[in-house]
Structure 1
Amino acid sequence: MTTPPPGPIILFDAECVLCSAQARFVLERDRAATFRLAAMQGEAGRSLCRRHGLDPDDPASLLVVDGSRVRRDSDAILHIYETLGFPWRLARILRLVPARLRDPVYRLVARNRYRLFGKRDSCWTAPERYRDRIL
């Protein structure tokens, strides 16, 4: 695998309807083009997942990888929203809730995401205008 471009990379489950919607949401609102995205099912995503201790065949969390720093669970989601700017950065208020309380809720939704939101028959692909931001 080649070295990923600089900046944070969001690793997401492209078969998950909720996760794909989140990826699309980020691409459309990340006006500074800060984030790159990698599907956990793709070659780059699988490699990054394994490197950071996540099974790409049974992803339990979204990851945000920024150099040597890895964010997961609710911290990853909050970091994404904080980075998107106003009004999304207002999600930062959720940091008042300790991670030990936020993360179990995140994991409950993550474990049941296919049941709650559905699973795609094939991986989501980004619109052409965003392809340069997909690994």
Structure 2
Amino acid sequence: MASDEAKNRSAAGAAHCIVLFDGVCSFCNGWVQFLIKRDQRDVFRFAALQSDFAQSLLAAHGVESGEMNSVVAVEGTKLFDKSGAVLHIFKRLGGMWKLLFIFSVVPRPVRDAVYLWIARRRYQWFGKYDSCMLPTDSMKRKFID
């Protein structure tokens, strides 16, 4: 998929926050399940980082393939990564979850260091799938690509 097409699909879903996640990571898949269950306002759409769509969307935002290896949030023209992505997602989730956005007062280098420490160990702690998760029929509309 060309990066122009990724931009168009992203623009078409501008009302949605697109969450890119590591499709083979058990922890990341659990995070997606957590968000789907709590997304009462239908804010989120999901795509595995390994998908052509995700790679095109990242390229459209000037991010090299393989540079991102866990969660990324894209909303409109803005891309959020590492701890910034997690905080943005909680903010958009709404309800009591948006209170976690208070952690944005912690300096980004500190937040990102904690995020990267967990991200580097996620396969060891939670495991890894051989392939990306396949959404159930009821979840398919939440996934791109």
Flag whether TM exceeds 0.5 (same fold): yes
After superposition, give the CA deviation of every residue in 1:8-59 in whole Å (9 maximum; x if it has no partner): 2111111001111111111111111111111111221222233331434x63
What are the equivalent positions in structure 2 for 1:48-87 lying under 5 Å apart?
48-52=57-61, 53-56=63-66, 59-87=68-96
**CA positional deviation for 1:120:** 0.7
| Partners of 2:19 and 2:71 within 8 A in 1 | yes
2:74, 2:80 within 8 Å by CA — same for their partners in 1?
A: yes
Equivalent residue number for residue 41 of structure 1: 50
**1:9 and 2:51 correspond:** no
Q: What residue is the counterpart of 1:89 in the other structure? A: 98
- Structure 2: state its 5+ residue gaps: none
Distance 1:104 1:60 in 2: 15
**With structure 2 as the length reference, what TM-score do the two structures score?**
0.83
What letter is aligned with 1:55?
S
Aligned to 2:95, what secondary structure does the other structure show? coil
Return the alpha-carbon distance in structure 2 between the equivalents of residues 54 and 8 of structure 1.
Answer: 21
Instruction: Please name the residue that 1:102 is paired with.
Output: 111
Shift of the 111–49 alpha-carbon distance from structure 1 to 2, 3 Å rule, reads farther
Which residue identity lines up with residue 88 of structure 2 in the other structure? H
The 1:36–1:69 alpha-carbon spacing in structure 2 relative to 1, beyond 3 Å, is same
Asked whether 1:125 is paired with 2:134, we answer yes
Contact 1:16 1:118 in 2 (8 A): yes
Q: Is the 8 A contact 1:40 1:49 kept in 2?
A: no
| Aligned length, in residue pairs | 134
CA change 1:59–1:117 in 2 (3 A) is farther
* Structure 1 ranges of 4+ moved more than 2 A: 49-52, 58-61
SS class of match (1:65): strand
Query: Residue 29 of structure 2 aligns with which residue?
Result: 20
- Who is 2:121 aligned against? 112
